[in-house]
């Protein structure tokens, strides 16, 4: 269940109210007593940025903007402040919560509301509720003078992230390749973009040896999903291509993962889910951009006729790949998708994948690794979009020298190279399958979490949805389109 998000401008009612304030001045319309105001001032003086006041007749909370930091950091601190107040909201069992502002930039109210909405997500469909468990609010009302376009962006953004988190959190027996492709189709129907699904026969006809090879150990056939949004007012002649890794379960194949390294591997399709959510948000908000998203879908298991180290696969574009490690499977299915994307003559290809432990080790949960061959305008726009939604980007070098360790004696290329710089080596492998401008986002550290990170929920936080949509919007707003 997701709380309903409502936009209403008017008099503050008897609902529990959370007010965003720009300083320590407390607005009179909240009706707080002098004693309650004094309590709030003491909290603020003690370096607290949120105050929850439980009066006899009403509940009121205050969240203070940190004026001394840049705006994108102010937004993030407000998202986190919402998480702090979430505990009190749930404990009180409110059915409706109103969020308002007092002479503040409307973007501050939106940021706080976003943090509240995303922090309220739960994946609990497979467990019985606990006797003392508090239910979520049914309605979140934004009472502020916010442009309707900004409200709808937030509304559809939350819908997209919730849907993506649901997909990622489903257990592997439920979310196999067929089920994932059906979820993508459902998102297309509700979001307003077209979806075409290739079955195994069509994939074989296209000679997608990477996708077929990874799938050869599974009883579930693969899928190749094509999403397209092409509005009549699209300003780009060449489409933006989004490609997401869709490995619904990664056991490592015959190079099977040991210890607890398989625990989070149902989330290995987070990249594919992210581009689906981004397509939903882009289409629902009507961004005038022609966008195509590709998601190759399979699991990676060690059964049946699974590929083995020493095998050689022939990819969609005819390149032969020597397999040295079956746990380097994501790059194989991405390579087929990237080479398939050449038929669109794209303006830019972006791949999103939980691809390497190297990226996770380098940046942890705090940054997504970015690399590629795209012009600086695109790279800079991605960094700015990362700051806007606080899914920050860490640029990495992409020198040709990182490809040298991928040379094979028996094939055109091998699927693993040096362990040092492993995230870049993996990116170079994928990049070798396209001549188009290319950005690779490795979300291994940010796209799968072992515990909640404020409003980013554990396991599948939905990383990349807001980032990619914000990037697409910035291309239009700043006219960053390569003709």
Please provide the DSSP assignment of 25-92 as one string.
PPPGGG---HHHHHHHHHHHHTT-SEEEEE-SS-EEEEEE--TTS-HHHHHHHHHHHHHHHHHHHHHH
User: CA-to-CA distance for 481 and 228, rounded, in angstroms?
Assistant: 18
pLDDT of residue 16: 86
Q: Judge whether 257 counts as a catalytic residue.
A: yes
Q: Judge whether 202 counts as a catalytic residue.
A: no
pTM (2 d.p.): 0.96
Taking the CB of residue 428, how many other CB atoms lie within 10 A of it? 26
pLDDT of residue 27: 86
Sign of the torsion angle spanned by Cα atoms 428, 429, 430, 433: positive
User: CA-to-CA distance for 78 and 72, rounded, in angstroms?
Assistant: 10
340 in Cβ contact with 316 (< 8 Å): yes
Residues contacting residue 360 through CB under 8 Å, at least 6 positions apart: 444, 445
User: CA-to-CA distance for 214 and 218, rounded, in angstroms?
Assistant: 8
Taking the CB of residue 44, how many other CB atoms lie within 10 A of it? 18
Using one digit for the tens of pLDDT, what is the confidence trace for 64-80?
Answer: 999 889 999 999 999 99
User: CA-to-CA distance for 444 and 265, rounded, in angstroms?
Assistant: 11
pLDDT of residue 13: 67
User: What is the side-by-side order of every strand in the sheet holding 96-102?
Assistant: 4-7, 139-143, 96-102, 17-21, 59-64, 50-54
Element containing residue 179 per DSSP (H, E): helix 177-191
pLDDT of residue 2: 84
User: CA-to-CA distance for 111 and 242, rounded, in angstroms?
Assistant: 26
pLDDT of residue 14: 65
CATH superfamily label, 154-477: Zn peptidases (3.40.630.10)
**What three-state secondary structure class fits 274?**
helix
- Alpha carbon separation from 399 to 78, 396, 431 (Å, rounded): 39, 9, 12
**What three-state secondary structure class fits 353?**
strand
User: CA-to-CA distance for 421 and 428, rounded, in angstroms?
Assistant: 11
- The segment(s) of the chain belonging to CATH 3.40.630.10 are 154-477
pLDDT of residue 279: 98
Residue 17 corresponds to which tokens in the numbers above?
Answer: 């109210």
From the list 257, 365, 392, 458, the catalytic residue is: 257
Residues contacting residue 130 through CB under 8 Å, at least 6 positions apart: none
| Architecture of the domain made up of 4-146 | 3-Layer(aba) Sandwich (3.40)
| % the chain with pLDDT above 70 | 99
Q: What is the mean pLDDT of the chain?
A: 94
Element containing residue 320 per DSSP (H, E): strand 320-322
**What three-state secondary structure class fits 17?**
strand
- The segment(s) of the chain belonging to CATH 3.40.220.10 are 4-146
* Positions of the chain with pLDDT lower than 50, given as ranges: none
265 in Cβ contact with 330 (< 8 Å): no
From the list 266, 284, 331, 456, the catalytic residue is: 331
The candidate with the shortest Cα–Cα distance to 176, out of 167, 186, 163, 185, is 167
Using one digit for the tens of pLDDT, what is the confidence trace for 434-453?
Answer: 999 999 999 999 999 989 99
User: CA-to-CA distance for 40 and 54, rounded, in angstroms?
Assistant: 12
Residues facing residue 6 across a β-bridge? 141
The candidate with the shortest Cα–Cα distance to 465, out of 273, 223, 188, is 273
């Amino acid at each position: 269940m997701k709380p309903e998000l409502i936009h209403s401008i008017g008099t503050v009612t008897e609902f529990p109210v959370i007010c965003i304030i720009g300083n320590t001045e407390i607005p009179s319309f909240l009706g707080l007593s002098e004693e309650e105001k004094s309590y709030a001032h003491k909290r603020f003086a003690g370096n607290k940025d949120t105050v929850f006041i439980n009066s006899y007749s009403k509940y009121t909370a205050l969240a203070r903007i940190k004026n001394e930091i840049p705006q994108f950091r102010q937004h993030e601190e407000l998202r986190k402040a919402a998480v702090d107040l979430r505990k009190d909201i749930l404990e009180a069992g409110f059915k409706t919560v109103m969020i308002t502002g007092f002479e503040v930039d409307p973007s501050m109210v939106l940021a706080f509301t976003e943090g509240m909405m995303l922090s309220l997500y739960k994946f609990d469909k497979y467990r019985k509720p606990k006797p003392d468990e508090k239910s979520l609010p049914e309605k979140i009302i934004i009472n502020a003078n916010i442009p309707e376009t900004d409200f709808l962006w937030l509304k559809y953004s939350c819908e997209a992230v919730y849907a993506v988190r649901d997909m990622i959190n489903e257990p592997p027996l439920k979310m196999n390749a067929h089920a994932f492709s059906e979820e993508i189709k459902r998102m297309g129907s509700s979001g307003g973009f077209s979806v075409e699904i290739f079955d195994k026969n069509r994939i074989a006809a296209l000679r997608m040896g990477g996708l077929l090879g990874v799938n050869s150990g599974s009883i579930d056939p693969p899928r190749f999903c094509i999403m397209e949004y092409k509005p009549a007012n699209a300003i780009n002649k060449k489409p933006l291509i989004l490609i997401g890794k869709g490995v619904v379960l990664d056991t490592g194949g015959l190079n099977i993962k040991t210890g607890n390294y398989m625990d989070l591997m149902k989330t290995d399709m987070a990249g594919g889910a992210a581009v689906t959510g981004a397509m939903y948000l882009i289409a629902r908000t009507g961004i005038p951009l022609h966008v195509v998203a590709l998601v190759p879908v399979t699991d990676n298991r060690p059964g049946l006729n699974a590929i083995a180290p020493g095998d050689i696969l022939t990819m969609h574009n005819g390149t032969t790949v020597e397999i040295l490690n079956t746990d380097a499977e994501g790059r194989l299915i991405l390579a087929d998708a990237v080479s398939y994307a050449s038929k669109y003559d794209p303006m830019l290809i972006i791949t999103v994948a939980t691809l390497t432990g190297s990226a996770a080790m380098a940046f942890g949960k705090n940054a997504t690794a970015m690399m590629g061959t795209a012009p600086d305008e695109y790279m800079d726009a991605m960094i700015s979009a990362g700051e806007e939604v606080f899914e920050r980007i860490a640029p990495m070098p992409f020198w040709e020298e990182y490809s040298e360790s991928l040379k094979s004696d028996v094939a055109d290329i091998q699927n693993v190279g040096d362990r040092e710089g492993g995230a870049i080596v993996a990116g170079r492998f994928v990049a070798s399958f396209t001549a188009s401008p290319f950005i690779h986002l490795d979300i291994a550290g940010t796209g799968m979490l072992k515990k909640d990170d404020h409003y980013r929920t554990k396991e599948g936080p939905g990383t990349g949805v807001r980032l990619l949509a914000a990037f697409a919007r910035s291309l239009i707003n700043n006219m960053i389109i390569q003709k």
